[in-house]
């Protein structure tokens, strides 16, 4: 949040935090880890992607690692 506040301002950072608080915390268990191990992404990205797929979420990102994957909305960084 510090980086967002520094780059976009306190108001934007506060709004982003409010939106994040509406989210769900997903436990990293053995089955999620095994799902993540086979998708070919770097470790943290693979867990994020596996969790999104498991919960039927659309993953919105600017990380090029996810470009072209099913269930991902990828937007290039400006």
CB 44 within 8 A of CB 37: no
Q: Which domain holds residue 65?
A: 2-74
- Which pLDDT value is given to residue 50? 97
What domain count does the chain have? Answer: 1
**What CA–CA distance (Å, rounded) separates 15 from 57?**
21
- Which pLDDT value is given to residue 16? 92
pLDDT digits (tens, 9 = 90+) for 21-61: 998 889 999 999 999 999 899 999 999 999 999 999 999 99
Strands (DSSP E) along 1-78, which ranges? 59-61, 72-74
Look up the pTM and report it.
Answer: 0.75
Say yes or no to pLDDT of 20 above 80: yes
């Amino acid at each position: 949040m510090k980086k967002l506040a520094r780059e976009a301002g306190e108001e934007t950072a506060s709004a982003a935090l409010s939106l994040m608080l509406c989210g769900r915390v997903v436990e990293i268990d053995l089955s999620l880890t095994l799902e993540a191990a086979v998708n070919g992404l770097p470790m943290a990205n693979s867990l994020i992607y596996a969790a999104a797929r498991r919960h039927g979420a659309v993953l919105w990102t600017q990380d090029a690692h996810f470009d072209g994957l099913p269930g991902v909305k990828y937007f290039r960084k400006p």
